[in-house]
A and B are shown apart, each in its own frame.
Chain A
Amino acid sequence: MTEIQNIISIIFVVIGIIFMLVGSIGIIRLPDFYARTHSVSKSDTLGIIFVILGLVIYEGLTQSSLKLVLIILFIFLANPVGTHALARAAYKRGLNPFYTDDEIDEEEHK
């Protein structure tokens, strides 16, 4: 029983770490602020949630796992608000998004 539990939790944690790694790669690779916000907030949050889920499964039904579930809930609530605040601030300051179609147009004009 504990073996299966361990295996499942390890799988979840590994998936979470992959998500976080990809999110970090995304910060470097993506072109502009808005696209980077996607990678930071979404992939990272999904990663954190997967890691915590893995820990919940590892822990079983105890008090600490309940606390971990609460952490997931709060991340779920806080993440979109934070992202929205960042993006809205950038938008209000007049930061124009980078459109991939613009790049295609420029190449055609050359």
Chain B
Amino acid sequence: MSFISLMAFWVIMSGFFDLIHLGLGVLTVAGVMYVNYQLKMHRFFDDDMDDLSEVRFGRSVYYLLWMILQIVVAGFHVVGIIIRRKMPLHTTMITFRANLPSAHAKMILGNSISLTPGTLTIDIEDDLFIVHAIDDKSYEGITSDKMPREVLKLFQKEERQVIEDLQIITRTETKENK
């Protein structure tokens, strides 16, 4: 799997199909795989796994397209906020627990949140996500459980509530009281 993708990368980068270039490519890819073997076998934490078999591929294509749409829509929204004269900001911190099956799912959710303009994953501790949002409309997708549900659908067929313990912090005081 990684050999095929690395080889495809080599061919795209070189653009030659003759024997010498392809042979050099095979040698290089073998070297890279040899160097990376230790790293791949190393487990940084318990459910750190390196296979894609749990992802449903049809779903992931849909997820990618949906994600791109979200990014573009939210991007225009953020641009609208910045160039407006009054700047209708409402900066908030959101914390919530996400009930997701694996570390990969959490990673995908965190990356998706960061990639969508207007929201930014600050920290993930076990299940606890800390997210910074620039205004109310930006975090709607997370609090309404839409985006976490899409991530869950990548891995499992069932639909359920993913988010628990949702907290929206809008003032410094409330944080000190906690």
Enumerate chain A residues within 8 angstroms of B93, measured Cβ to Cβ: 97
Query: Which residues in chain B, 124-139, are within 8 Å of chain A measured between CB atoms?
Result: 130, 132, 134
Q: Is the interface of B mostly helix, strand, loop or mixed?
A: mixed
How far is A20 from B130 in the complex, measured between Cα atoms in Å? 27
Q: Is residue B71 within 8 Å, beta carbon to beta carbon, of the partner chain?
A: yes
How far is A34 from B135 in the complex, measured between Cα atoms in Å? 12
Interface centre among A42, A84, A88, A91 (most CB of B within 10 A): A42
Q: Is residue A9 within 8 Å, beta carbon to beta carbon, of the partner chain?
A: no
How far is A63 from B148 in the complex, measured between Cα atoms in Å? 37
Q: In the bound complex, do residue A91 and residue B123 qualify as a contact, i.e. CB atoms below 8 Å apart?
A: yes
Q: In the bound complex, do residue B12 and residue A63 qualify as a contact, i.e. CB atoms below 8 Å apart?
A: yes
Q: How many residues of A contact B (CB 8 A)?
A: 40
Given the interface pairs A42-B118, A46-B75, A91-B123, the reply to whether A30 lies near B82 with Cβ below 8 Å is yes
Q: In the bound complex, do residue A101 and residue B90 qualify as a contact, i.e. CB atoms below 8 Å apart?
A: yes
Enumerate chain B residues within 8 angstroms of A18, measured Cβ to Cβ: 79
Besides A42-B117, A88-B122, 17 more A-B contacts (Cβ < 8 Å) are A25-B83, A31-B89, A35-B89, A35-B91, A38-B117, A38-B134, A42-B78, A43-B79, A46-B71, A46-B72, A66-B12, A83-B114, A88-B123, A96-B172, A97-B91, A99-B171, A101-B90
Query: Interface on B for A, CB 8 Å cutoff?
Result: 9, 12-13, 15, 71-72, 75, 78-79, 82-83, 87, 89-93, 110-111, 114-118, 120-123, 130, 132, 134, 169-172, 175
Q: Mind listing 13 A-B residue pairs with CB under 8 Å?
A: A19-B75, A31-B91, A38-B78, A38-B134, A46-B72, A46-B75, A80-B114, A81-B111, A84-B122, A87-B132, A88-B123, A97-B93, A97-B132
